[in-house]
Structure 1
Amino acid sequence: MTDLVIRPLVAGEETLFDSMPDPLPQLRQVAYADGLAGGGFRPENTWVALRAGRVVGRAAWVLPPGAVGDPWLERFDLAAEPALGAALLRAAHEALGGPRRYYAAMPAHWRRRPEVLAVMKAPMAAARLAGLVERGERLRCSWTGAPLPAASGRYKFRPAVDAAEINALVARVADPDVLTGREMALAVGGVDLATDPLAWLTGPVGEWRVALHAGEPVGLVGTAGQACYPLIAYLGLLDDAVRGELLAEAVGVLAYGGAREVVADVDAHRVAVVAELERTGFRQLRSRIVFEPAGD
């Protein structure tokens, strides 16, 4: 690696990042130029590995303006051996004050797509060599107008009465089914979406729906129609049987408000939740493998 140079970008050479061809053009993600314009990407937090003057590795950490947390690795592409990628990450980690979380994004169903595996094998191996540990997988799913399942009539749905009712029900939910944007809420606002969603979801309380059975609450869902994409931000159940109908209710409310797409994030190991999303008409858009520093 005698001809190798590893360094951050400097102001004025931002186009160097895009000189490396995108290895996964089918993956929906924020363009580097758009991230720069929005202030989340910055040249000093963007590192490249150059071999004979050509970019063979690139890594961009992102931190939105006003965020209270640490930057995380959002883009990491490698057209070289994992050892080179690990050297790139180690150099950047030293400058950043230590290892940072990495979200390895890839198209849905990546394990059965050889072309995606070929692209992601090297950067994921590099992350492990650099001391990052795989901690889980998050799926982003999207509904784009598929017919919704018919309601059984077993449940009633109504808007939440007030913030106190939402907080009381959230306190009773041990493990929410859907938390869309959980990572962003924690990094930007220091908010745990699972336990304090109203600290992040500041829209009208009426955007929350409570599911009732025999007059008693059995679940609640918080939606956001004016986010980057209309989304199901929070879905928590007190009775698993209401899952499908509460999902359909939430999507129906957003669609009635004009949404043509609704997104939802779920942990990949929540097999029953993923299956119910698919029965409701959602399809997987992408996967994100979460890598964290070994000591976290």
Structure 2
Amino acid sequence: MTNLVIRPLVAGEEHLFDSMPDPLPQLRKVGYADGITGGGYRPETTWIALRSGRVVARAAWLLPPGAVGAPWLEWFDLAAEPEVGAALLRAAHEALGGPGLYFAAMPAHWRRRPEVLAVMEAPMAAARLVGLVEQGERLRCSWTGTPLPATSGRYAFRPAADPTEINALVARIAEPDVLTGVEIALAVSGVDLATDPLAWLRGPAGDWRIALDDGVPVGLVGPAGDACYPLIAYLGLLDEAVRSELLVEAVRVLAAGGAREVIADVDAHRVAVLAELERTGFRQLRSRVVFAPATDTPPEQAVAAADRLG
């Protein structure tokens, strides 16, 4: 690693980060300059490796303003051997108080795309060299106006009456189908979106929809039209048979409010949920593979019991 310099950025050096060509330009993400402006990225939590004056690795840890947790590695590009990336991560971990979560973001269906595998092989190998271990994968899906499938008419839907009704139903649902933004909720506010969604979703209770089968609640969904983009923040079932129609109802509510795109995050191992999202018209946008320190138990709130991370 001759002529290799590893260091954090200093204020005013943002151009150095952007001097490295984006290896995955098709991946939709917030630009580094915008992240600096918004306060989530900071020079002191951004590290680069230079070889003969050229940036060959860059890593940016993200922590939104006001967040209660530790920064996580959100952006890690490597145009050198994995050992270079590992050296950068070790130096940064020492300065930042130790390793934390790394969310390796990739375009959808990355395992079937050799050009993506070629880009991600080195940074993921570097993460493993410093003791980070894969702890699950989450998929982001997007609906963009595809006609919704017809429903059976078996179920009725109504707004939730109040927070007490929502919390009572949430307490009965062991593993929600959809949790969008679970990682951000945990990092920013320390909130487990799966068990306490109203601590994060501050909109009116009437925004939620409850599915009824002959008057009995069988599922609920928390559409959020006023988030950074319209999304299905929470979807949980007491009867799996209602999944498809509750998804349709959530999208219908958001589209009626003017949404042209709806986002939903699902754990990659939830094959039935992903299939139903796709039947509803959602298409995969990206994948995030979660890496955590090997000695850590990955937080259930962030990676869904070792499989449950914008």
TM-score (norm 2): 0.95
Per-residue deviation, 1:14: 1.1
Residue type of the partner of 1:184?
Answer: I
String of CA shifts for 1:135-159, please: whole Å, max 9, x gaps: 0000000000001111101100000
The runs of 4+ residues in structure 1 deviating greater than 2 Å are none
State how far apart, in whole Å, the 1-side matches of 2:182 and 2:277 are. Answer: 18
- Aligned mates of 1:207, 1:285 — CA distance in 2: 26
Instruction: Give the match for residue 243 of structure 1.
Output: 243
Structure 2 matches for 1:250-265, cutoff 5 A? Answer: 250-265=250-265
Residue of structure 2 equivalent to 1:109: 109
Amino acid at match of 1:197: P
> How many angstroms apart in 2 are the aligned matches of 1:295 and 1:148?
45
Aligned twin of 1:23:
23
Cα offset, 1:93, TM superposition: 0.3
Structure 1 unaligned runs (5+)? none
Please give the alpha-carbon distance, in whole angstroms, between the structure 2 residues aligned to 1:130 and 1:228: 34
Give the residue type in structure 2 aligned to 1:84. V
Q: Which residue of 1 aligns with 2:215?
A: 215
Distance 1:149 1:122 in 2: 42
Distance in 1 between residues matched to 2:266 and 2:295, nearest whole Å? 25
The reply to whether residue 53 of structure 1 matches residue 38 of structure 2 is no
Matched, 1:286 2:286: yes
Deviations 1:38-61 (A, max 9, x none): 000000000000000000000000
Shift of 1:88: 0.4
Unpaired runs of at least 5, structure 2:
297-310
Matched, 1:195 2:224: no
Equivalent-residue separation in structure 2 for 1:187 and 1:132 (angstroms): 19
CA separation in 2, counterparts of 1:221 and 1:168?
13
Partner of 1:41, secondary structure, is coil
Give the 5 Å matches for 1:34-49: 34-49=34-49
- Residues of 1 paired with 2:119 and 2:180: CA distance? 26
RMSD: 0.4
- Percent identity between the two aligned chains: 82
SS of match in other structure, 1:103: strand
- 1:84-127 deviation per Cα after TM superposition (whole angstroms, max 9, x unaligned): 10010000000000001000000000000000000000000000
Describe the SS at the equivalent of 1:188: helix
Amino acid at match of 1:133: V
Matched AA of 1:274: L
Q: Which residue of 2 aligns with 1:71?
A: 71
Q: CA deviation at 1:2?
A: 2.2
1:123 maps to: 123
Number of aligned positions between the proteins: 296
Residues 266-295 of structure 1: CA distance to partner in whole angstroms, max 9, x if unpaired?
Answer: 000000000000000000000000000111
1:204-259 deviation per Cα after TM superposition (whole angstroms, max 9, x unaligned): 11110000001100000001101111000000000000000000000000000000
What is the SS of the residue equivalent to 1:148? coil
What residue is the counterpart of 1:155 in the other structure? 155
SS at match of 1:139: strand
Query: For the residues of structure 1 that align with 2:61 and 2:294, how far apart are their CA atoms?
Result: 18
Q: CA deviation at 1:12?
A: 1.1
Aligned-partner Cα distance in 2 for 1:246–1:2: 58
Q: Counterpart in 1 of 2:99?
A: 99
What is the one-letter code of the residue matched to 1:6? Answer: I
Q: What amino acid maps onto 1:74 in structure 2?
A: E
Indicate the residue corresponding to 1:6 in structure 2: 6
Corresponding residue for 1:186? 186
Tell me the distance in 2 between the aligned counterparts of 1:131 and 1:23.
Answer: 24
Structure 2 Cα separation of the partners of residues 12 and 213 of structure 1? 59
* 3-state SS, counterpart of residue 212 of structure 2: strand
